Amino acid sequence: MSHNHGSFIPGLLDQLAQFSQHVSKIIITCNIAESLKIESKDYPFEILIIKNNRAKGFGSNHNEAFQSCSTKYFCVMNPDIFLDSDPFLQLLSCHKNQNISISAPMVLNMKGLEENSARKFPTFFALIGRVLGFYDDKYEVDRSELIVKPDWLAGMFLLVRSDVYSSLSGFDESFFLYYEDVDFCTRAWRNGYEVALCTSIFIKHDARRDSHRNIKFLKWHIVSAIRYLVKYQGRLPLKTRH
């Protein structure tokens, strides 16, 4: 999904073209009117472009894109990521465990530092602790383990089994922005599907952190956090820690 990320897309397509054995179709959603310059060259996969008449939420855009998915796996992918190597080979290997239904690689920022992309379930007291600076929701990852199973994974890059995405009815569109990924992973665990982080592969993410700078995005972040807490009221899934 692109929200004024058009400049990232040609480069990402070129990177994905290197791993065409694992990519058969790219669905690009232009959430706002923007210039999208894709050179007229032969890519080794089909490209479908969806142009919205009005801006939609993160979940709504991906749910609409999923309607055009006919493959075994559906990859939720931000335009502002960079792939130095093929992430799909390792992730697909991770999915050989039939209980694993949602997977993701490690995420690094553009300086090569690990991002907080695998986290613990949010609770009221945890969120207060984060705001006050005495609680860290980061899931401590043991890099000696090839597969770890955090509570939830950030939605900039998720590989999801299509039957599971359909079974969960995709993202909850009542979250306009933020917490769609938290909610999605929560519902996955509650329905017996496991969420896994593959530590042997990584992607890079050129994050904008709009909620840190823009009051509108900060408001959406707060509203989504409240919506999540009200929705579950502490009734989070019990899961085996790995």
pLDDT digits (tens, 9 = 90+) for 180-192: 999 999 999 999 9
Q: Is residue 150 part of a domain?
A: yes
How many separate domains does the chain show?
Answer: 1
Domain, as residue range, for 132:
73-232
Token representation of residue 1: 């999904």
Does residue 61 sit in helix, strand or coil?
helix
d(CA 88, CA 79): 16
Question: What is the pTM (predicted TM-score) of this model?
Answer: 0.91
Q: Is residue 14 part of a domain?
A: no
User: What confidence tier does 140 reach under pLDDT thresholds 50, 70, 90?
Assistant: confident
Neighbours of 212 (CB within 10 A): 10
Residue 213's pLDDT is what? 60
Residue 211's pLDDT is what? 47
Token representation of residue 3: 């929200």
d(CA 29, CA 56): 10
Domain with residue 107: its CATH number is 3.90.550.60
d(CA 107, CA 89): 16
Angle (nearest 5°) at CA 203 between 215 and 179: 35
**122-136 tens-digit pLDDT:** 999 888 888 787 778
User: What confidence tier does 241 reach under pLDDT thresholds 50, 70, 90?
Assistant: very low
Neighbours of 169 (CB within 10 A): 10
Q: Is residue 205 part of a domain?
A: yes
Q: Is residue 145 part of a domain?
A: yes
